[in-house]
Amino acid sequence: MKYTITLDKLATFFNSNLAEHDQIGYKLNGDYDDNCYFVQSLDVQNIHFEAIPTEIKKLLSTDGMDSSNCYIYDGYLEFDDVIKLPYFNRVTPNQEYAATFRITIKEKNGEKLDTKRLHTVFDMLNKE
C-alpha cells in the first residue's frame, strides 16, 4: 500500500534574545495562540510505508527543521524548532520563527494512519 504525506508549516515571529519567551505568541506542544500563522502545505504522494521516515526528513531539511524534536499530538507527527526563514517579510532573510511542522500520513483511501502505525513511523524516524 502507498501513502500520502502532508506537511503543514506553522510559524510565529520569535526573538531568542528576549528573556521572557511568554511575551511572544508561539505554538508549543499542541497549544496555539492568535500569533500563530499558517505558512504552507506540501504533499508527497505514493510513498511506501518503509520510505515514510526518509521522506519526512527530506521535507524537514528543506527549511532546516530538526527532526529530533518530534512528538505525536492528536494523530499527527509534529516537530518544533526555532528556525530562521524569510517567510512573511521577504526583505529580512534571517527572521527567527518558532515553527511547528505538522505531518499527516494518510492511506490511499484517505484515512489517517491509526495510532499503532503512527507510533511505528515515530519509532522508525527516531532510529534513523
Residue-wise pLDDT tens digits, 102-117: 999 999 999 999 999 9
Separation of alpha carbons 72 and 18, rounded Å: 29
62 falls in which pLDDT band (50, 70, 90)? confident
Q: Over range 38-57, report the average pLDDT.
A: 88
Instruction: Give φ, ψ of 26 to 5 degrees.
Output: -155, 160
pLDDT at 9: 84
Query: pLDDT averaged over the chain?
Result: 79
pLDDT at 48: 94
Q: Per this entry, what is the length of the chain?
A: 128
Query: What's the pTM?
Result: 0.76
Separation of alpha carbons 99 and 83, rounded Å: 7
The residue that leads in pLDDT, 77 or 14, is: 77
Please state, for a pLDDT cut of 70, what percent of the chain lies above it.
70
